[in-house]
Amino acid sequence: MALNQNMATDPQNILLFDGVCNLCNASVQWILLRDKKRVFKFAALQSETGEKLLRQFGRTPGSLDTATLVSGNRIFLRSDAALEICRQLGGIYSLAVVFKIIPRFIRNTVYNWIARNRYRWFGKQEQCMLPRPEWKDRFV
């Protein structure tokens, strides 16, 4: 889908993810199943929408190998993205914010280690996943 004008100037809760990574795709599906309030939308980092949002926030498309959450006028990377997603999902998932007591450099060291090994451990696809029909409107 093309990035519409409003989304380009006012993105709200768009998770940019590696569209060919099996771990990333499983994470997106996990979020979709728990996001009862439909707070999040999704775009592959490799998509036109993903690249436009990255540029809008001063990031170089293709250089990020991390989940990126664009929430309003803020951008969350690595472990901060994961914790912000849990916070916004609410309920029991919001308890994950307790991990913010762990310094970011430690959280991100663990995150980066998993990210570096994700293809080897979980595999990858040749193309981005196709969402279920009931989720199609959640992808931009």
Instruction: Reply yes or no on whether the pLDDT at 8 is more than 50.
Output: no
Amino acid 5: pLDDT: 41
Unique residue bearing structure tokens 């310094």: 103
What domains can you pick out in the chain, each with its CATH number? 5-125 (3.40.30)
Task: Report yes or no: 83 and 77 within 8 Å, Cβ to Cβ.
Answer: no
Beta bridge partners of 15: 42, 69
Instruction: Reply yes or no on whether the pLDDT at 126 is more than 70.
Output: yes
Q: Calculate mean pLDDT across residues 107-113.
A: 95
For the chain, give the mean pLDDT.
Answer: 86
Instruction: Reply yes or no on whether the pLDDT at 52 is more than 50.
Output: yes
Q: Calculate mean pLDDT across residues 89-99.
A: 95
Instruction: Reply yes or no on whether the pLDDT at 11 is more than 80.
Output: no
Task: Report yes or no: 67 and 17 within 8 Å, Cβ to Cβ.
Answer: yes
Tokens of 10: 């006012």
Amino acid 7: pLDDT: 43
Amino acid 129: pLDDT: 65
pLDDT tier, 40 (very low <50, low <70, confident <90, very high otherwise): very high
This prediction has a pTM of: 0.84
pLDDT tier, 128 (very low <50, low <70, confident <90, very high otherwise): low
Instruction: Reply yes or no on whether the pLDDT at 71 is more than 60.
Output: yes
Instruction: Reply yes or no on whether the pLDDT at 110 is more than 90.
Output: yes
Amino acid 58: pLDDT: 85
